[in-house]
Amino acid sequence: MGTTPLIQIKDLQKEFKSQNDTVTALTGINLNINKGDIFGIIGMSGAGKSTLVRCINFLERPTKGTIIIGDKDLSLLNDRELRQVRHNIGMIFQQFNLLMQRNVEDNICFPLEIAGLSKKEGRKKAAELLDLVGLSDKKKAYPSQLSGGQKQRVAIARALATNPQILLCDEATSALDPTTTRSILALLKDINKKLGITIIIITHEMSVVEEICSNVAIIDNGVLAEAGKVEDVFRNPKTEAAKKMFYNNSNIVRKMKGKRIIRIVFDGKSSNEPVIANLVLEFKAHVNILFADLKEINENSFGQMVLQLPEDKDLSDKIIYYLRNIIKVNVEELIDYVGS
């Protein structure tokens, strides 16, 4: 028997009603998130992912369905009990949400003041957290004196002040440059390892999911398109939404009308082997590389290529058999992308 998930989302639906209309933002969402996971929730703008994260801590009350955290069904709790649950959930945002009139130390102490901690205890906790996020020398600085990455580190420290079990990150790196994004993601990964906090990352950037997440859920137009381990979804995306996320160069492929197109995924030792060179030598046939890249997912190397095969059906069949059974890479025929 497996362990009970820390967070269970069951048949979640969220509607927003106005005077003249009802908009369904989420429908039929079922997800389990285990303790200690770094879980990515990804989708395009307007897909419903930020609404989902606000439903997880009941800042938005679901129209239908159930959210269970630990052994508590949030829909059955009164306001006081909900506040106690939220005490165990930290949250960081795209725009940092720091108090501009307070210095770094006082920003971190703010939730501790609300929780009734003494000033001395609060400053001791703030010092520990500033050390954790690498900003011990900035405790008296004000937000206006900090870079975007430093502001986000302060926001992370503040979110950790109440010793939460869960950290919700809503587009937390979207306002940052790529180098700063990587440093923030590395910090979150370190926090996950050191403190065992379950982290949920809401993002529209697949690179963020690939960099840090163990599991991913893809939200598309308010429904759960696909979910699973990141490497499994990468190897074999089953839905159009997942395919767009993992290889969004499909427009190139759509132009290749009447051609046989495949996507190959390789990992481990095969990612360092000359797959295409071996294939050409074996069959004396040319293939066109339409798209290729190499990714690091959970500290493992994964490569992918989109290839145009020769027109000869028998030769193409032999190439696919060779790739699947001799080279042992994952091969997916992009039938949906051929012609239109």
pLDDT tens digits, one per residue of 13-57: 999 888 888 888 999 999 999 999 999 999 888 888 889 988 998
Q: Which residue has the higher pLDDT, 81 or 333?
A: 81
Q: Which residue has the higher pLDDT, 277 or 338?
A: 277
Q: Where are the domains of the chain?
A: 36-54+75-240, 247-337
pLDDT level of residue 68 (50, 70, 90 thresholds): very high
pLDDT level of residue 248 (50, 70, 90 thresholds): low
What's the pLDDT at 256?
Answer: 45
Containing 310, the helix (H) or strand (E) segment is none
Which residue is it, tokens 């879980």?
39
User: Looking at residue 236, what DSSP letter applies?
Assistant: S
Within the chain, strands assigned E span: 7-17, 22-33, 38-42, 64-69, 72-73, 89-93, 166-170, 198-203, 215-220, 223-229, 261-267, 288-297, 300-308, 330-333
316 pLDDT more than 60 = yes
**Superfamily covering domain 247-337:** ACT domain (3.30.70.260)
pLDDT level of residue 2 (50, 70, 90 thresholds): low
**Structure token digits, residue 332:** 């997916």
Kindly state the average pLDDT of the residues 253-262.
Answer: 59
Classified by CATH at the fold level, domain 36-54+75-240 comes out as Rossmann fold (3.40.50)
What's the pLDDT at 250?
Answer: 47
- 125 Cβ partners below 8 Å, 6+ apart? 108, 109, 112, 117, 161
What's the pLDDT at 191?
Answer: 92
Q: Which residue has the higher pLDDT, 266 or 168?
A: 168
Of 8-17, 110-119, 203-212, 239-248, give the range with the top mean pLDDT.
8-17
**Structure token digits, residue 172:** 């937390």
First to last CA, the chain: 47
252 pLDDT more than 70 = no
Percent of the chain with pLDDT over 90: 32
Positive/negative CA dihedral, 301, 307, 310, 316? positive
Nearest residue to 60 via CA among 220, 165, 175, 170: 170
Nearest residue to 306 via CA among 260, 245, 274, 339: 260
What's the pLDDT at 268?
Answer: 61
The number of residues making up the chain comes to 340
Kindly state the average pLDDT of the residues 199-214.
Answer: 89
The span from the CA of 70 to the CA of 66, in Å, is 13
Of 43-57, 59-73, 250-264, give the range with the top mean pLDDT.
59-73
Amino acid at 225: A
- Residue 218 CA: distances (Å) to CA of 223, 225, 229, 255, 319: 9, 6, 11, 26, 32
pTM for this prediction: 0.81
The span from the CA of 150 to the CA of 147, in Å, is 5
Percent of the chain with pLDDT over 70: 92
What's the pLDDT at 247?
Answer: 64
What's the pLDDT at 262?
Answer: 84
| Number of Cβ atoms within 10 Å of the Cβ of 122 | 20
Nearest residue to 330 via CA among 312, 306, 309: 306
pLDDT tens digits, one per residue of 115-170: 787 888 888 989 999 999 999 998 899 999 999 889 999 999 999 988 999 999 98
The interaxial angle of helices 148-160 and 104-114, nearest 10 deg, is 20
What's the pLDDT at 313?
Answer: 84
- 70 Cβ partners below 8 Å, 6+ apart? 6, 165
The span from the CA of 135 to the CA of 148, in Å, is 13
**Structure token digits, residue 338:** 């051929």
